[in-house]
Amino acid sequence: MDAVTIATSVLTLVAGVGIFLIACSMMSTNLEALGSRKLKALFSKTSKSKLLGVGVGAAATAAIQSSSATTVMVIGFVNAGIMSLTQAATVIFGANIGTTITGQLVALGLFGGNSISSSVVFAAFAGIGAFILMFAKKDVAQKIGGILAGFGSLFVGLSMMSGAMGHFSELDSVKQFLAMFENPLLLVVIGMALTAVVQSSSVMTSMAITMVVTGLISLDQGIYITMGSNVGTCVTALIAGLTSTKNAKRTALIHLIFNMSGVIVFMLLGMFLRLGGTSYGSLFTAMFPHAPQLQLSMFHTIFNVATVLIVLPLTGLLVKLVTKIVPDKPDKQPSDAPRLNFVDEHMLVTPPIAVKQTKSEILGMADIALRNFDIACEIISTLDYKNIDAFRANEKKLDFINKELAKFIVRLLKADLNDKDRLYLSTAIRSTTDLERIGDYAENIVEYADNLKAAEQVFSPDALKELADLRALVHKLFGHAVNAYKFNDRTALAEAYNVEDEIDRVTERMTENHIARLNDGTCTPDVGAQYLSLTANVERIADHMINVAKTIKAQG
């Protein structure tokens, strides 16, 4: 084989790996967009049983074709407090089973013989998907086209890798060089390192299967490289966990310990097999004779399933272990330090779920804003400041969430989203500003209370009764507005508009009553100024809450 052929083979191999990686990403992105809307509801069921958690993890990973994406998403849920460590552990166990699907697809694509290669048949889906992408108008059809194009490209890349490795297998020097790597531990390390570089155990396993089929490496070498790839894939989760909460770090550590446990158990078993004069390669060759395509892919599946069966009963102990490794320590920041409660940057890997969590974060802001309005009303009614610290903490939270959620939304808008989600996010930033402004008006009300206290004045009993009634109306408005926003409920929106109109009428009547009290001497001008400012601020609070609710009109 001349230098030109060798160079061509190297370039073809690189191109094949690149196409394979792009195909995996394309399938994952489009499958997420179609299927991950239901993943949060699916994950919520993991608390029912450990086996169900494993099943959910396997199904989710098979659906989005990425165990790394599933694991990072789980870390995001743990970081946001949506999922417990035990739930996260079982989902991660299942993700390792789900990731074996790619290996089985690759093995299927390498069948052919004298007939048309199945890889060629599957590669044709790339063309079908491309045509759909070109001519389809609907978002769902385009996502399906993207899935088919990614699926077909997977086998285009596989064919290129297989062809390049076939050329290398003709070179004795290459085969002799690769034969030098026989030590199981060294092969595991090589698998770990290469997987950490390409950031995909599926790609590494697929390359190993192709190398075994073309004769570049032995089945035993492929088996130990595949074991190493299971540990190498933990790098993504570890990076995600390092920048997150303690529980997120623990989740990443569970992923690492789980995968390392499987490798250690199978390494020890492999050592005993070699002492007995046999090996994994011999066993799987006997189990699947004349089908090298299946030998490594089936080992990969059995390895992951067996590891789950071994570790699953020990989930509780594993959670205790990582809790000791990453112990609870006094936080440098106070426990009530502002933070995002429902979203996490690691959720950006699953945009549809991130969109849903953004809505939850905004609804959480609405709850904080209403709490501060209540505290402000209590303070100005009683001039009792016992809850002022809670008020100030809530105001900091509103300011923080408004700023940080806007940054998150901007990043989320850069992701692959459907038109509906993109439209929603375009209104969400305005909603966070509206809710932050409600907090500002609550601050104004507290300032009016400060003025009353400094002047040693109080509202009259009639004014306090009017304020209590107005406060009840604001609560009613919030209830309808939140239901409208949360459930896209047009009926609730109409009710919110009715209550807002009533608030306008009531505040107008309160102004008239105040003037009457001024005339009869019941109320002083200083008190009246604070009272009028209060009613004007409450009216603006109602306007901002309506602004949040009516964004559902833009969402169709």
What digits encode the pLDDT tens for the residues 20-38?
A: 778 777 776 676 666 555 5
Measured on CA atoms in the order 67, 73, 77, 78, is the torsion positive or negative?
positive
Whether 20 and 140 share a structural domain: yes
Whether 309 and 408 share a structural domain: no
Is residue 546 in a domain? yes
Tens-place pLDDT, residues 277-289? 899 999 999 999 8
Token reading at 280: 């994994």
Predicted confidence (pLDDT) at residue 175 exceeds the cutoff of 70: no
State the residue for tokens 């034969």: 179
Is residue 91 in a domain? yes
Q: Quick count: other Cβ atoms within 10 Å of Cβ 357?
A: 24
The 3-class secondary structure across 65-109, one letter per residue, is CCHHHHHHHHHHHHHCCCCCHHHHHHHHHHHHHHCHHHHHHHHHH
Exposure b/e, 499-524, CB count within 10 A at least 16 = b: bbeebeebbeebeebbeebeeeebbe
Mean pLDDT of 41-51: 67
Is residue 231 in a domain? yes
Q: What share of the chain is helix, strand, coil (3-state, %, to 5)?
A: 85, 0, 15
Between 534 and 50, the higher pLDDT residue: 534
CB 94 within 8 A of CB 59: yes
Range scoring the smallest mean pLDDT among 99-103, 143-147, 239-243, 532-536: 239-243
- By three-state DSSP, how is residue 339 classified? coil
Whether 148 and 246 share a structural domain: yes
Nearest to 216 by CA among 286, 292, 133: 292
> According to the model, what pLDDT value does residue 63 have?
67
Is residue 470 in a domain? yes
> According to the model, what pLDDT value does residue 44 have?
59
Backbone angles phi, psi at 230, to 5 degrees: -65, -30
Is residue 24 in a domain? yes
Mean pLDDT of 121-133: 86
Whether 426 and 512 share a structural domain: yes
State the residue for tokens 């297998």: 169
Mean pLDDT of 235-249: 71
Mean pLDDT of 399-423: 91
Residues in the chain: 556
Between 538 and 79, the higher pLDDT residue: 538
Measured on CA atoms in the order 255, 257, 263, 266, is the torsion positive or negative?
negative
Whether 352 and 207 share a structural domain: no
Mean pLDDT of 500-528: 87
Token reading at 33: 């967009």
> According to the model, what pLDDT value does residue 114 have?
45
DSSP one-letter code for 383: -
Whether 272 and 403 share a structural domain: no
Residue 248 identity (one-letter amino acid)? A
> According to the model, what pLDDT value does residue 31 have?
67
Whether 394 and 276 share a structural domain: no
Domain hosting 394: range is 348-555
Nearest to 261 by CA among 98, 96, 103: 96
Nearest to 185 by CA among 254, 110, 263, 262: 263
Distance CA 136, CA 339 (A): 42
> According to the model, what pLDDT value does residue 23 have?
79
Tens-place pLDDT, residues 429-482? 999 999 999 999 999 999 999 999 998 999 989 999 999 999 999 999 999 999
Backbone angles phi, psi at 455, to 5 degrees: -90, 0
Token reading at 140: 């769902």
Residue 240 identity (one-letter amino acid)? A
Distance CA 236, CA 250 (A): 14
Token reading at 354: 């991130």
> According to the model, what pLDDT value does residue 30 have?
74
Mean per-residue pLDDT of the chain: 85
Whether 477 and 546 share a structural domain: yes
Mean pLDDT of 154-170: 73
Is residue 102 in a domain? yes
Whether 361 and 294 share a structural domain: no
Whether 305 and 216 share a structural domain: yes
Would you say the pTM of this structure is higher than 0.85? no
Whether 505 and 372 share a structural domain: yes
What lies within 8 Å, CB to CB, of 340 at 6+ separation is 80, 361, 401, 404, 405, 408
What single string gives the DSSP state of each residue in 14-33?
A: HHHHHHHHHHHHHHHHHHHH
Residue 219 identity (one-letter amino acid)? L
- CATH label of the domain that carries residue 499: 1.20.58.220
Q: Quick count: other Cβ atoms within 10 Å of Cβ 337?
A: 12
pLDDT band at 185 (very low <50, low <70, confident <90, very high): very high
Q: What percent of the chain has pLDDT over 70?
A: 87
- By three-state DSSP, how is residue 401 classified? helix
Q: Cα dist. 15→8, 28, 103, 229 in Å? A: 10, 20, 19, 21
State the residue for tokens 């993109």: 422
Token reading at 39: 């993943």
> According to the model, what pLDDT value does residue 343 have?
85
Nearest to 255 by CA among 292, 308, 200: 308
Mean pLDDT of 33-45: 59
Nearest to 69 by CA among 98, 38, 111, 110: 98
> According to the model, what pLDDT value does residue 115 have?
45
Domain count, the chain: 2
Is residue 395 in a domain? yes
Whether 83 and 222 share a structural domain: yes
Range scoring the smallest mean pLDDT among 208-212, 305-309, 522-526: 522-526
Mean pLDDT of 44-51: 68
Distance CA 5, CA 8 (A): 5
Distance CA 544, CA 535 (A): 15
Range scoring the smallest mean pLDDT among 109-118, 168-177, 497-506, 515-524: 109-118
- By three-state DSSP, how is residue 413 classified? coil
The residue among 279, 310, 325 that closes a domain is 325
> According to the model, what pLDDT value does residue 506 have?
94
Is residue 336 in a domain? no
Predicted confidence (pLDDT) at residue 333 exceeds the cutoff of 60: no
Predicted confidence (pLDDT) at residue 87 exceeds the cutoff of 70: yes
Predicted confidence (pLDDT) at residue 221 exceeds the cutoff of 60: yes
Range scoring the smallest mean pLDDT among 287-291, 350-354, 373-377: 350-354
Nearest to 299 by CA among 210, 185, 189, 219: 219
> According to the model, what pLDDT value does residue 362 have?
95
